[in-house]
Amino acid sequence: MIIVENLCFSYNDRTVFNHLNFQIMDGQWIALMGDNGSGKTTLVNILVGLLSFSKGNIWINNTKINHFNNHSLRTMIGIIFQNPDYQFVGFDVRSDMAFGLENQNLSRIIIQQKIIKYAYMLNIEHLLDKKPQELSGGQKQKVAIASVLVMEPQIIIFDESTAFLDPKSVQEIYQIIHQIHQQKKQILITITHDLTFALQSDEIMILNQQGDLWKKNRPIDLLRDNDFVHKYFDNLPLALQIYYQLEKEKLNFKNQKLYKEIKELLWQYNLIR
């Protein structure tokens, strides 16, 4: 569990967070959103101990964050960045996945068992002996995810991890995130600008430019929030745009086939029952 209480942080005389408060429960998937400059990556850097905050408290599993050293925090929290090249530290995939485990003084047998387990989970077992320059962007990102998962952290953060990927690779990474979430073992935080993807999370958390939390709620509740819908309407899936237009205009469908198709789409987003 993560608890952030009255967090304050400034950078170059600019207030980034002004008494920020929120909680994230164990096993929960949070989609973290906000305009550029709202502090999404700054928040991540504070959580992993890369930045110090001026006021407030942060607890991870009932322990204040300043009671952990940086090594402990980075063992508890795994991050997958935008560019996987920044995370590759081994000469091949196998050594990259082994790097963090070797620092835990685990036996060679246990290390290899963990590598095989997560390589098969992510369907990269055939890449274990490949060098980074032999991999595509999507494959590199899968390796970055595997290198985090193999450490079995309590919190996993995806910091816009699909930003440089082609559409096919993006969908593959999304499927992996769903797969991780289904196990309900870790807190997942996905920083994203993809609203359609964010709507699949447990809660969406939106930071604003004033250093505060603008919204934090379940997707179904945000989709009934006029302020949220007004701000993000153009980014909503087409079915939801049609739904809100129908609500606004109070129109009725004469084309029953089209009505049925839209109703089925809306059902997927839990807007109707």
The predicted structure's pLDDT at residue 185:
83
Q: Of 109-118, 226-235, 264-273, which range is least confident?
A: 264-273
Q: At what angle do helices 93-102 and 137-149 cross, to 10 degrees?
A: 20
The mean pLDDT value for 104-109 works out to: 88
Q: Tell me if 77 is assigned to some domain.
A: yes
Which residues touch 153 (CB under 8 Å, ≥6 apart)?
Answer: 75, 76, 77, 78, 186
Q: Tell me if 249 is assigned to some domain.
A: no
Residue 52: pLDDT band (50, 70, 90) is confident
Q: Tell me if 245 is assigned to some domain.
A: no
**Number of domains composing the chain:** 1
pTM: 0.85
3-class secondary structure, 33 = strand
The predicted structure's pLDDT at residue 108:
93
The mean pLDDT value for 49-58 works out to: 88
Q: Residue 132 maps to which CATH number? A: 3.40.50.300
H-helix segments, the chain = 40-47, 70-76, 93-102, 108-121, 137-149, 167-182, 195-198, 219-222, 226-232, 238-249, 256-268
Which residues touch 120 (CB under 8 Å, ≥6 apart)?
Answer: none
The predicted structure's pLDDT at residue 147:
93
The mean pLDDT value for 205-222 works out to: 89
Highest mean pLDDT among 47-51, 165-169, 205-209: 205-209
The predicted structure's pLDDT at residue 270:
56
Q: Tell me if 212 is assigned to some domain.
A: yes
The predicted structure's pLDDT at residue 248:
65
Q: Tell me if 75 is assigned to some domain.
A: yes
Domain that holds residue 56: 2-236
The predicted structure's pLDDT at residue 90:
83
Q: Is the pLDDT of residue 256 over 60?
A: no
The predicted structure's pLDDT at residue 273:
46
Query: In angstroms, what CA-CA distances link 6 with 22, 24, 48, 173, 229?
Result: 9, 15, 18, 34, 28
Q: Tell me if 138 is assigned to some domain.
A: yes
Which is higher by pLDDT, 228 or 268?
228
Are 146 and 127 in contact, with CB atoms under 8 Å apart?
no
Q: How many helices (H) and strands (E) does the chain have?
A: 11, 10
Maximum distance among all alpha carbons in the chain?
Answer: 68
Q: Tell me if 258 is assigned to some domain.
A: no
pLDDT tens-digit series, residues 13-38:
888 999 999 999 999 999 999 988 88
pLDDT tens-digit series, residues 110-166:
999 999 999 999 999 999 999 988 999 899 999 999 999 999 999 999 998 888 888
d(CA 255, CA 68): 61
The predicted structure's pLDDT at residue 24:
96
The pLDDT mean for the chain works out to 85
Q: Cα dihedral sign for 114, 115, 117, 118?
A: positive
The predicted structure's pLDDT at residue 184:
78
Q: Tell me if 88 is assigned to some domain.
A: yes
The mean pLDDT value for 41-66 works out to: 88
The mean pLDDT value for 169-185 works out to: 89
The dihedral region occupied by 185, where left means phi > 0, alpha psi between -120 and 50, and beta the remainder, is alpha
The predicted structure's pLDDT at residue 265:
61
The closest of 205, 110, 113, 97 to 149, measured between CA atoms, is 97
The predicted structure's pLDDT at residue 37:
83
The mean pLDDT value for 168-189 works out to: 90
